[in-house]
């Protein structure tokens, strides 16, 4: 019993100190994550206000109410902070669209296109900043890959699969992605039409195509 008690005692002590250590580690990690999130939120505000080139790390740390040194614990430079911001926003966007589309009984192109435009419109300030920062084509293509991947899933769930027989699904997803991407690029310069009307325009083109007279002139 004594032996066991001692063992238990020791073991409990170990557990306790381990737990305390873990709690302390978790607390540290949480604090670190919170600072990082604060820095990214501040960066977003500063980039939106000053533009990519004029925004400084000092602006960002002042807006986040931390010291300049803290910035460098999280990011190598302004460029890395901005790229992280873009990647995180895009990831959130992706999650939002997936969650929203899945909440519908039937996953249609209509639901998907509306959801993409709605969430992308809310983040459109970031796109123009990304463009001004000298964003690379390879990044856009990665985003388009994600959209195309989502569209492939929509195509694969079409209730009458024979409807898509003869189509190259991969290529079709890419071409449709192009239409959606251009709808988003449209917002680089202007705010109108808003997301619902944009989605309706895109869906009308994708559902019905263009007037026949554009393809062959019978004159």
How many whole angstroms separate alpha carbon 77 and alpha carbon 140? 22
Candidates 204, 43, 65; CA nearest to 129 is: 43
Q: Tell me if 139 contacts a second copy by CB under 8 A.
A: yes
Contacting a second copy within 163-182 (CB under 8 A): 163-164, 168, 171-172, 174-182
Q: In the stretch 66-105, what mask flags binding to a second copy with x, by CB under 8 A?
A: ----------------------------------------
Q: Tell me if 137 contacts a second copy by CB under 8 A.
A: yes
What is the nearest approach in angstroms of a second copy to the Cβ of residue 136? 5
Distances (CA, A) of 129 to 47, 59, 85, 103, 180: 7, 16, 11, 32, 20
29: part of which helix (H) or strand (E)? helix 2-50
Rg (CA), the chain: 25
Residues contributing to the site for a second copy (CB under 8 A): 106, 108-110, 130-131, 134-141, 144, 154-155, 158-160, 163-164, 168, 171-172, 174-183, 185-186, 188, 193, 201-203, 205-219
């Amino acid at each position: 019993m004594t032996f066991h008690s001692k063992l238990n005692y020791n073991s409990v002590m170990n557990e306790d100190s381990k737990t305390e250590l873990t709690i302390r580690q978790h607390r540290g990690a949480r604090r670190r994550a919170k600072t990082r999130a604060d820095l990214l939120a501040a960066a977003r505000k500063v980039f939106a206000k000053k533009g990519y080139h004029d925004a400084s790390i000092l602006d960002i740390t002042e807006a986040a109410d931390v010291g300049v040194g803290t910035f460098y614990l999280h990011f190598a430079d302004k460029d890395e902070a901005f790229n992280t911001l873009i990647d995180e926003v895009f990831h959130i966007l992706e999650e939002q669209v997936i969650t929203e589309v899945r909440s519908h009984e039937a996953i249609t192109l209509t639901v998907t296109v509306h959801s993409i435009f709605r969430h992308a419109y809310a983040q459109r300030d970031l796109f123009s900043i990304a463009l001004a920062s000298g964003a690379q084509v390879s990044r856009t293509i990665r985003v388009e890959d994600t959209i195309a991947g989502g569209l492939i899933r929509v195509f694969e769930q079409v209730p009458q699969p024979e409807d898509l027989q003869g189509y190259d699904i991969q290529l079709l997803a890419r071409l449709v992605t192009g239409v959606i991407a251009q709808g988003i690029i449209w917002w680089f310069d202007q705010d109108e039409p808003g997301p619902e009307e944009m989605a309706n325009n895109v869906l009308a083109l994708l559902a019905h195509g263009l007037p026949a007279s554009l393809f062959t002139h019978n004159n």
